[in-house]
């Protein structure tokens, strides 16, 4: 079915009524999920997503048409629809398609389809048992296992043709601790761009125990006092602060149209000098890694901020055109149902000079956010908010009692300036990031760091 001649004729059809660029994104993806809750392996769902999206770019205009019908007729119909929406006269011919060999940097040993359900179930049951057995206060545990095997083909009017395969595996553990009148939760979700061999590297049971430990700790925590105070944010998923508060505002999606607080700030100081940050899609087997992005550009290690100075944005083809800048290998989409746009991969603040103890000892009265929950941001204003999943008060330079219900709010541009101590050990945490091109796997990350002052919402 993946016939070069056919694709060329489809691309040609897409450009028949104008437009300077056309692209086909074809996807065939298998998904499996297994879920255990209430001591029962409750359900397993398998399925196959298959479809194609055709995009025509006419100047700065983007036309996107998708379908499940990937037959020649189905694709031709899509191309015709896209051309109809351009509605001008042909200005561009398509080029001969030449297949590019994609170098795979994320070796997979056990693809999901080669592993029996029994083995997958075993991991789930073990994690479940460990989380449930952690304490009598754990009243509910939910463990989910998901894997996906995505095959993509990208063809465009510049003659580019490539195929890639992306395999990912993830385990989710949610523990609920309850006292009858109150519930608190803990969550862990390790994932990698790997097959089942991920579990040789990741100790599922240890993560399960960790989820339960957080839930029990929070159940026995007092509510967090509100106010402005210094905040120490732990490494790993703590990096969600950078992801939400700054990362989204560095995506060309918001920068290109002048909607970001960082628009026009290249080369300017946007963060304190101790902040250096990267978006690196090339980390072998990392959750947010890709060989090529969903437009076919090679993934890169991009420096975003160097010692506080804004160095680059994350840029896709269309927004790059608007900005007069080169794409950075960041164009991503959830599936063929979405036109691609600039998104993060593995985005993190690089290691600094301070030690963990040194940072905590430096705070007289403040908050230690050991684990962060999710959050969101308004890219136009940079205003963000996110939940602290496990927090502690810091008193006289040491970690004191656990507190719950804390939220951190602020503006991305302010907080970047207020990061005044950065630790030395970077850790990454996995998440699914939702934006206009759907939900994509991303890593967030940072070393432990201190923000001199933040608004903490509590009770």
Partner 1 sequence: MDYKRFKYELFKAAQKQGFKEFELYYTSGGSLRAGVFKGELDTYDSNTSCGAGFRGKINGKMGYAYTEILDGRSVDMLVTRSKENAEITDEGDEEFIYMEKDTYKTINAYNPKLESIKPTDVIGKAMDMEKRAFECDSRVDNVRACSVSLYKGSTRISNSYGLDMEYTTNGVYGYAIPVVRSGEDVRTAVAYRVGRRYELIDPNAIADEAVERAISYLGAGSVDSGSYKAVICNEAAADMLDVYSGIFSAEKVQKGLSLLKGKLGEKVASGIVTIVDNPLMENGMCGGPFDCEGVATGTKEVVTCGVLNTYLYNLKTAHKDDVGSTGNAARGSYSSRVGTAPSNFYIKPGDIGYEELLGYMDDGLLITELEGLHSGANAVSGDFSLAAKGFLVKSGKMSSPVEQITIAGNIFELLKSVTKVGNDIKFGFPSPGGCFGSPSILIDKLSVAGR
Give the residue with the Cβ less far from partner 1, 182 or 400: 182
Chain-centre distance for alpha carbon 7: 31
The CB-of-378 to partner 1 minimum distance in angstroms stands at: 6
Binding track over 103-132 against partner 1, x by CB under 8 A: --------------xx--x-----------
The CB-of-451 to partner 1 minimum distance in angstroms stands at: 15
**Size of the residue set binding partner 1 (CB under 8 A):** 76
Looking only at residues 34 through 93 of this chain, which bind partner 1 when binding is defined by CB under 8 A? 34, 37-38, 40-51, 59-70, 81-82, 85
**Cβ density class 277-300: b for 16+ within 10 Å, e for less:** bbbbbbbebbbbbbbbbbbbbbbb
**DSSP-assigned letter for residue 249:** G
The CB-of-414 to partner 1 minimum distance in angstroms stands at: 10
Give the residue with the Cβ less far from partner 1, 11 or 292: 11
Looking only at residues 248 through 277 of this chain, which bind partner 1 when binding is defined by CB under 8 A? 257-259, 261
**DSSP-assigned letter for residue 102:** P
Taking a C-beta distance cutoff of 8 angstroms, is the pair 215, 138 a contact?
A: yes
Looking only at residues 413 through 432 of this chain, which bind partner 1 when binding is defined by CB under 8 A? none
Give the residue with the Cβ less far from partner 1, 146 or 167: 146
The CB-of-65 to partner 1 minimum distance in angstroms stands at: 5
Give the residue with the Cβ less far from partner 1, 397 or 405: 405
31 binds partner 1 (CB under 8 A): yes
Give the residue with the Cβ less far from partner 1, 23 or 289: 23
Looking only at residues 274 through 333 of this chain, which bind partner 1 when binding is defined by CB under 8 A? none
Looking only at residues 395 through 414 of this chain, which bind partner 1 when binding is defined by CB under 8 A? 404-407, 409-410
Looking only at residues 156 through 185 of this chain, which bind partner 1 when binding is defined by CB under 8 A? 176, 178, 181-185
Q: Which residues pair with 442 in a beta bridge?
A: 431
Give the residue with the Cβ less far from partner 1, 120 or 207: 120
The CB-of-288 to partner 1 minimum distance in angstroms stands at: 19
Q: At 48, list the tokens.
A: 């196959």
3-state secondary structure 256-319: CCCCCCCCCCCCCECCCCCCCEEEECCCCCCCCCCCECCCCCECCEEEEEECCEECCCECCHHH
Looking only at residues 206 through 245 of this chain, which bind partner 1 when binding is defined by CB under 8 A? 223, 226-228
**Cβ density class 151-182: b for 16+ within 10 Å, e for less:** bbbbbbbbebbbbbbbbbbbbbbbbbbeeeee
150 binds partner 1 (CB under 8 A): no
Taking a C-beta distance cutoff of 8 angstroms, is the pair 426, 446 a contact?
A: yes
Give the residue with the Cβ less far from partner 1, 43 or 364: 43
Q: Under DSSP, is residue 334 helix (H, G, I), strand (E, B) or coil?
A: coil
135 binds partner 1 (CB under 8 A): no
Taking a C-beta distance cutoff of 8 angstroms, is the pair 429, 443 a contact?
A: yes
What is the sign of the dihedral through the CA atoms of 109, 113, 114 and 120?
Answer: positive
At a CB cut-off of 8 Å and minimum separation 6, what does 409 contact?
Answer: 383, 384, 385, 454, 455, 457
The CB-of-121 to partner 1 minimum distance in angstroms stands at: 5
CA distance 167 to 115: 13
Looking only at residues 375 through 394 of this chain, which bind partner 1 when binding is defined by CB under 8 A? 375-376, 378, 380-381, 383-387
Q: At 301, list the tokens.
A: 């290690």
**DSSP-assigned letter for residue 247:** I
Give the residue with the Cβ less far from partner 1, 275 or 406: 406
């Amino acid at each position: 079915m993946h016939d070069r001649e056919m694709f060329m004729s489809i691309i040609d059809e897409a450009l028949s009524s104008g437009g300077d660029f056309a692209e086909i994104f074809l996807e065939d993806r298998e998904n499996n999920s297994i879920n255990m809750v209430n001591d029962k392996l409750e359900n397993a769902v398998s399925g196959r997503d298959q479809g194609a999206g055709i995009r025509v770019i006419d100047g700065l205009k983007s036309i996107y048409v998708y379908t499940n019908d990937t037959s020649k007729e189905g694709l031709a119909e899509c191309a015709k629809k896209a051309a109809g929406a351009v509605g001008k006269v042909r200005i561009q011919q398509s080029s001969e398609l030449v297949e590019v060999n994609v170098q795979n940097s994320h070796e997979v040993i056990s693809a999901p389809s080669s592993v029996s359900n029994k083995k997958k179930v075993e991991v789930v049951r073990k994690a479940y048992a460990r989380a449930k057995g952690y304490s009598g206060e754990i009243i509910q545990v939910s463990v989910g296992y998901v894997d996906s095997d995505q095959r993509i083909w990208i063809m465009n009017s510049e003659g580019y043709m490539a195929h890639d395969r992306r395999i990912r595996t993830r385990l989710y553990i949610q523990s609920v601790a309850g006292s009858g009148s109150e519930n608190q939760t803990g969550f862990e979700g390790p994932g990698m761009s790997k097959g089942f061999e991920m579990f040789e590297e990741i100790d599922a049971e240890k993560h399960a125990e960790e989820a339960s430990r957080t839930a029990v700790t929070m159940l026995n925590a007092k509510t967090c006092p509100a106010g402005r105070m210094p905040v120490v944010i732990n490494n790993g998923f703590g990096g969600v602060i950078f992801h939400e508060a700054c990362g989204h505002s560095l995506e060309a999606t918001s920068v290109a149209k002048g909607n970001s607080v960082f628009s026009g700030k290249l080369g300017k100081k946007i963060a304190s000098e101790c902040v250096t940050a990267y978006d690196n899609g090339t980390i072998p087997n990392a959750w947010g890694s890709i060989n090529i992005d969903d437009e076919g550009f090679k993934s890169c290690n991009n420096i975003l901020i160097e010692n506080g100075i804004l160095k680059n944005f994350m840029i896709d083809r269309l927004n790059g055109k608007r900005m007069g800048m080169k794409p950075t290998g960041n164009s991503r989409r959830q599936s063929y149902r979405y036109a691609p746009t600039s998104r993060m991969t593995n985005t993190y603040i690089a290691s600094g000079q301070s030690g963990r103890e040194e940072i905590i000892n430096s705070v007289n009265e403040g908050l230690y956010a050991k684990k962060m929950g999710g959050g969101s941001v308004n890219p136009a204003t940079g205003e963000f908010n996110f939940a602290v999943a496990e927090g502690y008060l810091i008193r006289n330079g040491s970690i004191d009692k656990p507190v719950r219900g804390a939220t951190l709010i602020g503006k991305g541009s302010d907080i970047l300036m207020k990061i005044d101590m950065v630790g030395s050990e970077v850790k990454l945490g996995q998440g699914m990031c939702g934006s206009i091109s759907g939900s994509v796997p991303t890593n967030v990350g940072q070393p432990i760091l201190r923000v001199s002052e933040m608004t903490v919402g509590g009770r």
